[in-house]
Structure 1
Amino acid sequence: MTNARDTARSPRPRPFGRTLCAMVTPFTGSGALDLDGARRLAAHLVAEGCDGLVLNGTTGESPTTSDTEKAELITAVREAVGERVSLVAGVGTADTRHTVELALAAEKAGADGVLVVSPYYSRPPQDALEAHFLEVAEASGLPVMLYDIPGRTSTRIEPETLVRLAAHPRIVAVKDCSYDFLGAQKVLARTELAYYAGCDEHVLALYAVGAAGCVSTVANVVPGPVAAILDAFDAGDTAGAAELQLRITPLIEAMMAAGLPGTVTSKALLTVLGLPSGPMRAPLRPAGREAVDGLRAVYEHFMAA
């Protein structure tokens, strides 16, 4: 017998999986792209519970990797994980033409979808923003995840714009970092767009109102515990899911809200754990000893709890 809760959850699509990690891009000690490290890290994340990976995103230091490196990373990770998980490639830039070129290159390299952030710096109005996304969606055969993160781009993808964009058959998902929970619910109620929580503190909250899953930075370090939050909710254990979300909150705060970018904190902890990461590319700088010690302490407390 199908219960009401299962019926309520079933219509929402999961075009790219449920627990996605916004994977860091490993570099060698000299700062070159570490493809072997990327393969090993991707395989580890999948083995620990991720059913999708976002490559060449914010956490992946996309502003400092070349177009060639972006394509090479997609190809290498596909070799490592095969077809068992979705690979979503970040292709968003401040230039529509360049974004289209990256989308076509991602398709050729083996991506399953593209993540397209609002063009930054130029701050296009909503009609220009809509035209930008539509041009990218028309350019390749890949499904599109829109990336709404006005804190970085200074341009919100307004709910009404998202509703209109949802009519395009290849615009299927949103990575939501808008911090507008009401706006997200309005779009969820009016479209079939698959929402993915892009802020780790919203993983359970957005999932509970119909999101498809998450694109988590913290999952670089604790992929299993992030997946466990959604596992518990899917099993009907809402209290257990809430407990897991609250238990991981100090780690989320340490990694995402303590003054350092998530790329820096993720790579610091991955290094502590002996997993591939390597240095950051300038202008980002590695975490100092005090910050690393603090991150390690929060991580160890979380894992011991």
Structure 2
Amino acid sequence: MQERHSGMEASGPPPLTGLYAAAVTPRTDDGTIDMLAFDRVLDLLLAAGVAGVCLGGATAEYPHASREERMRLIAHTARRIGDRGLLVGIGAAAPTDVVPLGHAALDAGARAVLLSMPLFFRYAQDDLEAFCLDTAAAIGGPVLLYDLPAFTTPLATDTILRLLSGAPHVIGIKDSSGQADRLGPIAEARGDQPWRLMVGDDAVLIEAIAAGWDGCISGTSGAFPELMLAVLRAAQAHDHAALHRLLPLLRELFAQQGVFPTPWGIRMGLEARGIPVGPFPLPASPTRVAQRATYLAWAPDWMERVAAALGHALVGTR
């Protein structure tokens, strides 16, 4: 089987550190991908200085996209982001789509693919382990496990450690479980092994960095990368004064986003910044219409306070 190394040396896994922003998938009113809006999203993320961009995760609402749409976005993003890192989630409603998406991502130059577990049905840990082993072998390049228990069968910590320790091509994990109590044990189990540990739940970013994790693949960064970058850098530098200034703003954002399904709040954050990314995937109920109005009324003052805390204007803000 031909192995794919995505332009990286075969001697070790690719470098993955810092903040990768998860990109939403803008849609037009007729449901097609809005590539002009997508380019504006990419421009926002790159201008903020993120280490890279992540496609195809929960923030991208990957079950709503066809294989062809996702392959188009992979190729397009790889061309536009230059030397920034590209990560691609390859989870799919149809398991037969997973390996072709993985090949497309690595052939386009992705540093790694994110392998989320099968969705809809619940599976045993043995099923998940077999799925990961078989899929990683078929992909033949760097794979990050993607634990996304809110939407897929959860990976147990023991299963994660077995796969990280012994599965060919599995180089690390994006952990979106929000389980702060397992961050330390996974980091300790790593020891001097070259696992790449990326947290995927923004709410436990501080704890992950303190435990020794390498960075974050952040949904919130899909709309507000400047704030998440500042929080990450403050955590890495143990800058408690900066964290004291920034964390209340981040928690306020979480409270506003938290009333919506993932990732509607992130999409509205982009709208508040002057980058509309299309309608919600479901019809908006009267409750959602009112919540959206509340969010958009709240956002301008909050963004001004974020800009003051950062000491610079937010890129792309109205």
* TM class, shorter-length: 0.7 to 0.9
What CA distance in whole angstroms lies between the structure 2 residues aligned with 1:70 and 1:140?
A: 17
Matched ranges for 1:280-295 at <5 A: 280-282=280-282, 288-295=288-295
CA contact (8 A) 1:21 1:219 kept: yes
2:209 alignment partner in structure 1? 207
What CA distance in whole angstroms lies between the structure 2 residues aligned with 1:47 and 1:287?
A: 35
Q: Secondary structure of the equivalent of 2:57? A: coil
1:10 alignment partner in structure 2? none
Q: Following TM superposition, by how much is the alpha carbon of 1:98 offset from its aligned partner in structure 2, in angstroms? A: 2.8
Asked if residue 197 in structure 1 is aligned to residue 199 in structure 2, the reply is: yes
What CA distance in whole angstroms lies between the structure 1 residues aligned with 2:171 and 2:214?
A: 11
CA contact (8 A) 2:146 2:173 kept: yes
Q: Following TM superposition, by how much is the alpha carbon of 1:48 offset from its aligned partner in structure 2, in angstroms? A: 0.7
Q: Secondary structure of the equivalent of 1:189? A: helix
Q: Following TM superposition, by how much is the alpha carbon of 1:14 offset from its aligned partner in structure 2, in angstroms? A: 7.8
Letter in 2 for 1:123: R
Q: Secondary structure of the equivalent of 1:175? A: strand
CA contact (8 A) 1:17 1:86 kept: no
Q: Structure 1 residues 97, 234: closer, same or farther in 2, change over 3 A? A: same
CA contact (8 A) 1:22 1:60 kept: yes
2:139 alignment partner in structure 1? 140
Q: Secondary structure of the equivalent of 1:105? A: helix
Q: Secondary structure of the equivalent of 1:33? A: coil
CA contact (8 A) 2:74 2:108 kept: yes
What CA distance in whole angstroms lies between the structure 2 residues aligned with 1:283 and 1:303?
A: 28
CA contact (8 A) 2:146 2:176 kept: yes
What CA distance in whole angstroms lies between the structure 1 residues aligned with 2:61 and 2:130?
A: 26
2:89 alignment partner in structure 1? 90
What CA distance in whole angstroms lies between the structure 1 residues aligned with 2:184 and 2:176?
A: 13
Q: Structure 1 residues 281, 289: closer, same or farther in 2, change over 3 A? A: closer
Q: Following TM superposition, by how much is the alpha carbon of 1:60 offset from its aligned partner in structure 2, in angstroms? A: 0.7
What CA distance in whole angstroms lies between the structure 2 residues aligned with 1:235 and 1:141?
A: 36
Asked if residue 81 in structure 1 is aligned to residue 81 in structure 2, the reply is: yes
Q: Following TM superposition, by how much is the alpha carbon of 1:164 offset from its aligned partner in structure 2, in angstroms? A: 1.0
What CA distance in whole angstroms lies between the structure 2 residues aligned with 1:33 and 1:90?
A: 17
2:9 alignment partner in structure 1? none
Q: Following TM superposition, by how much is the alpha carbon of 1:283 offset from its aligned partner in structure 2, in angstroms? A: 7.5
Q: Following TM superposition, by how much is the alpha carbon of 1:280 offset from its aligned partner in structure 2, in angstroms? A: 3.4
Q: Structure 1 residues 187, 264: closer, same or farther in 2, change over 3 A? A: same
1:248 alignment partner in structure 2? 250
Q: Following TM superposition, by how much is the alpha carbon of 1:177 offset from its aligned partner in structure 2, in angstroms? A: 2.1
1:30 alignment partner in structure 2? 30
2:315 alignment partner in structure 1? none
Q: Structure 1 residues 230, 125: closer, same or farther in 2, change over 3 A? A: same
What CA distance in whole angstroms lies between the structure 2 residues aligned with 1:149 and 1:299?
A: 28
What CA distance in whole angstroms lies between the structure 1 residues aligned with 2:286 and 2:101?
A: 28
2:184 alignment partner in structure 1? 185
Q: Following TM superposition, by how much is the alpha carbon of 1:51 offset from its aligned partner in structure 2, in angstroms? A: 1.2
What CA distance in whole angstroms lies between the structure 2 residues aligned with 1:88 and 1:300?
A: 31
CA contact (8 A) 1:265 1:287 kept: no
Asked if residue 299 in structure 1 is aligned to residue 299 in structure 2, the reply is: yes
Letter in 2 for 1:265: G
CA contact (8 A) 1:94 1:122 kept: no
Once the two structures are overlaid, the 10-residue window that deviates more, 98-107 or 129-138, is: 98-107
Q: Deviations over 1:179-220 (max 9, x none)?
A: 322223211110243322222211112111111111212112
What CA distance in whole angstroms lies between the structure 2 residues aligned with 1:202 and 1:70?
A: 29
* Residue 162 (structure 1) aligned to one of 160, 163, 185: 160
Q: How many residues align?
A: 289
CA contact (8 A) 1:144 1:170 kept: yes
What CA distance in whole angstroms lies between the structure 2 residues aligned with 1:262 and 1:242?
A: 27
CA contact (8 A) 1:264 1:285 kept: no
2:234 alignment partner in structure 1? 232
What CA distance in whole angstroms lies between the structure 2 residues aligned with 1:287 and 1:79?
A: 40
Q: Deviations over 1:234-282 (max 9, x none)?
A: 3341342354223211101211x21x12321222221232125122334
In structure 1, runs of 5+ residues without a counterpart are 1-12
1:3 alignment partner in structure 2? none
In structure 2, runs of 5+ residues without a counterpart are 1-12, 306-318
CA contact (8 A) 1:26 1:278 kept: yes
Q: Secondary structure of the equivalent of 2:290? A: helix
4+ residue runs of structure 1 moved beyond 6 angstroms? 283-287
Instruction: Note the aligned Cα RMSD (angstroms).
Output: 2.4
Letter in 1 for 2:219: T
2:64 alignment partner in structure 1? 64
Letter in 1 for 2:44: H
Q: Structure 1 residues 94, 25: closer, same or farther in 2, change over 3 A? A: closer
Tell me the TM-score normalised to structure 2 length: 0.82
